[in-house]
Structure 1
Amino acid sequence: MAKRHDQARDFYTTREAAKVLGVSLTTVQLWVEAGILPAWKTPGGHRRLARDAVDRLQREQQSAKQPALGRLKVLVVEDEPVQRELYRLQFARWGLNLDLRLAENGFDGLIQVGREVPDLVITDLDMPGMDGFQMIRHLFRQVPGIGKVVVVSALSPEEIRARGGVPEQIPVYAKPVPFAALRKLIEQELTERAFPRRAS
């Protein structure tokens, strides 16, 4: 009994962590592999996650779900639920002055843009329904005030070209999601908003 109490106090199993965080067991395992959640293995090969790390991540999840006005408006369009949650958690962890919205595919992304035009769109390309290629073409034709668009995709450059490509001015990053590069880009956008260049 004492051993069970110590375990509950000090660490979670992956199944317990999934229940606390409201996600699937697979998602927790992916977060461990991505370095979002620190973990170790018992001699029997079972993963253990520090209780304080899981609880801190839960607080970050809750914080990320609360939008704030007057921030850099960022829209992420990504069909994979695990990837969307990675975006949410990483962006919350940075503590930057932004308002993050998430969309599941190109059609959902256009609906989000119709509600409020974002300053930055980060999108996948290969998605069911309306893919990123279609969404980008629509944005550039129909939304003149659209902000910066960035692509993060598992498709190779050859595959992207074969499917019509994307406009030249759009940066294209390869998956896994390059969070360091995205953070630098977002910080640059925030700096330019805080200190806009004056016309000469």
Structure 2
Amino acid sequence: MKSEKTPPPSLVQDHYTTLEVASMLGLAVRSVQLMVDRNELEAWKTPGGHRRISRASVEQWINARTGGAKGGNPVAVTSNPSEGNAGGSHSRARHHAQILLIEDSIHFQNLVTLLVNQHFPGAVLHTANDGITGLAMYGQIQPDVLIVDILLPGIDGATLITTLRSHPQFARSRLIVVTSLDETQREPYAFALQGVTVIHKPQLVAELPAALADSLPAKVA
């Protein structure tokens, strides 16, 4: 049963449109609609049939996926992306370089964490376990470096990269792709990998520190 009901009077003004939520999370409108259908977001419909999504449920969804990340604090979302850059936890975190790792393997999450802590102790590493969560975290963090696996649950890395490239804020991030696929196996994803640093996972320890040094701000690297 969908979470679409008449909102309490105190929450009438505390909501977003589907388009606003899609913009905040860096997702397609259809993805947000499916999240409502899965009861991941609380929503109701206006008398005119327009869907409205509770701000509290959006914040809860993001915090459930970012609160456990290293250095992560609960995130308060805003319908204006530029406001997220101006203050709050995001601006405080900007004193340190931000790295977002989107990787579903716990082993490689731990390995990247070890390498970042060892070589770039001044950087903050955030981790997402799947592409959808990674898209949402990207919109909140707007990292200096994005590390993405190609094979991810929910949405593959190539599709994720293509989606992010449609957002202007992606221009400020450097991209590193890590994958267990060899060059032949990567061919179906070549459309998203042109001009991108790609590291084969067996070479991660040897190659990732140098790739991060080239991508992170000079004061961190």
The TM-score by the shorter chain falls in which range?
0.5 to 0.7
Q: Which residue of 2 aligns with 1:183?
A: 209
Q: Which residue of 2 aligns with 1:152?
A: 178
Distance 1:126 1:71, change over 3 A: same
For residues 97-136 of structure 1, the aligned pairs below 5 Å read 97-136=122-161
Provide the C-alpha distance between the structure 1 equivalents of 2:138 and 2:71, rounded to a whole number of angstroms. Answer: 19
Q: Which residue of 2 aligns with 1:72?
A: 97
Match of 2:196 among 141, 163, 170: 170
Provide the C-alpha distance between the structure 2 equivalents of 1:146 and 1:190, rounded to a whole number of angstroms. Answer: 11
Distance 1:143 1:176, change over 3 A: farther
Give the TM-score normalised by structure 1: 0.58
Consecutive unaligned residues in structure 1, runs of 5 or more? 1-63, 196-200
Distance 1:141 1:95, change over 3 A: closer
Give a deviation string over 1:100-128, Cα, whole Å, max 9, x none. Answer: 00011211110111112111111110112
Give the aligned length: 132
Distance 1:143 1:112, change over 3 A: farther
TM-fit CA distance, 1:132: 0.3
Provide the C-alpha distance between the structure 1 equivalents of 2:71 and 2:217, rounded to a whole number of angstroms. Answer: 23
Q: Which residue of 2 aligns with 1:51?
A: none
% same residue: 24
Q: Which residue of 2 aligns with 1:85?
A: 110
Provide the C-alpha distance between the structure 1 equivalents of 2:105 and 2:201, rounded to a whole number of angstroms. Answer: 12
Distance 1:108 1:143, change over 3 A: farther
Provide the C-alpha distance between the structure 2 equivalents of 1:146 and 1:121, rounded to a whole number of angstroms. Answer: 10
- Structure ID, larger Rg: 1
Q: Which residue of 2 aligns with 1:17?
A: none
Distance 1:138 1:78, change over 3 A: same
Contact 2:104 2:128 in 1 (8 A): yes
**Aligned-partner residue type, residue 212 of structure 2:** I
Consecutive unaligned residues in structure 2, runs of 5 or more? 1-68, 73-91
**Aligned-partner residue type, residue 168 of structure 1:** Q
Contact 1:73 1:118 in 2 (8 A): yes
Provide the C-alpha distance between the structure 2 equivalents of 1:80 and 1:90, rounded to a whole number of angstroms. Answer: 15
Contact 2:102 2:131 in 1 (8 A): yes
